[in-house]
Each structure stands twice: as C-alpha cells, then as structure tokens.
Amino acid sequence: MSETAAKRLVFAMLDADGDGVISKDEYSARAERVTLATGRTNDDPLVIAARTAGERAWAAMDANGDGGVTFDEYAAWAGAEAFDTVCKPVLGALFDLADTDKDGALNLPEFTTLRTALGNPVSNAEAAFVALDADGDGHISRDDYLASIRAHVSGESSPVGEALYSSGTEGAVAGR
C-alpha cells in the first residue's frame, strides 16, 4: 500500500463524520471512546495522559490553528517523523488505557476493545491481532503495535494496516 493510500485510510477514520475535515472534537473523541470502553474514570492518570498527548497531537496536526484538518493538511503533516514525535505518544497512551492488566501487552479482548473504540470493525481488529501476534502467544507488545502502525503510515508493509484497513473499512480505519 502506498504512503498516500495509507494516509487516506487513516484520515477517513479520523474524519468520523465524513465531511472532509478532521475537527478537534473528532480527534479528541478517540481518548473519550477508549476511556468509556475500558471503564476508566476521568481522573485516572492514564486518561489524563491520553488526553494530554491527544491535545499535543491536535496542536501539531492543526498547524494553522483553524480548528480543522483537511486531507491535504494531514497528508503534508503525517508520516514517519510526525509519528515518532507526535502520534507515538498518543497511540501509546491509548494502548496503555486498553492494557487493563498493566502487563505491557494486549490480549485479544483488550486489543479488540481498543481498536473497536477507535472505529475498526471487530472482525478487522481480530484479524489485525492475529497478524501482529506472530509468535502466537496471545499477546501483542506495545512496541510491536506501535512499530506496525508506524510502518503503515509510512507506506511500508504492516500487519496491522493490512488487516485494519482491508475491504469494507473505508469509513472506519486505523491510526485513531
């Protein structure tokens, strides 16, 4: 998958209402959905960390401060460097919210909770888990998860990207 195609899929997921612009509310809702899905409270330090990381990411994405990010703005911004400096902390914080047993890895129910809260269909989340769980131990490490998403947004081969963005997910795709 090309880098532009990967960015289009991620953008489509972030643009929850499909109006061609990612709003701050759409972007911020990601942390709120994972918080609700995991049963965490608003004063949980992990929730606060996820929200703070999300606010920093939004400020970087909405560089002109107009309250919305078009695909062209997103495509110019997104990529390996933006992932390493901005997205990785957000996605890592969301991963931590879903890691309810705090073992540094997600099992299938935790992973499915995370990815469906971020808008992926259950079947795609399950397929992504299987693809990422290369050793079949039933767990996906934080580092492997983040590396696979980085590969996807950089246009490289990614087991998560291939599974999360397979046919039928154009309106609900990964990277959230």
Per-10-residue mean pLDDT of the chain, 176 residues long, equals: 80 90 95 96 96 94 93 90 91 96 96 91 88 92 91 79 59 35
pLDDT of residue 1: 67
pLDDT of residue 176: 35
Count of other CB atoms within 10 angstroms of residue 108: 15
**47-95 pLDDT per residue, tens:** 999 999 999 999 999 989 999 999 999 998 988 888 999 999 999 999 9
Q: Is 29 helix (H, G, I), strand (E, B) or coil?
A: helix
pLDDT of residue 19: 96
pLDDT of residue 119: 84
Cα-to-chain-centroid distance, residue 174: 5
CB–CB of 125/119 below 8 Å?
A: no
pLDDT of residue 10: 83
- Of the candidate CATH numbers 1.10.246.90, 1.10.238.10, 3.60.15.10, 1.50.10.10, the domain formed by 3-164 belongs to 1.10.238.10
Task: With CA atoms as reference, report the closest residue to 147 among 131, 167, 171.
Answer: 131
Question: 64: which 2 tokens?
Answer: 């002109």
Residues whose CB is less than 8 angstroms from the CB of residue 165 and which lie 6 or more positions away in sequence, other chains included: 1, 6, 9, 124, 152, 173, 174
What's the whole-model pTM score? 0.86
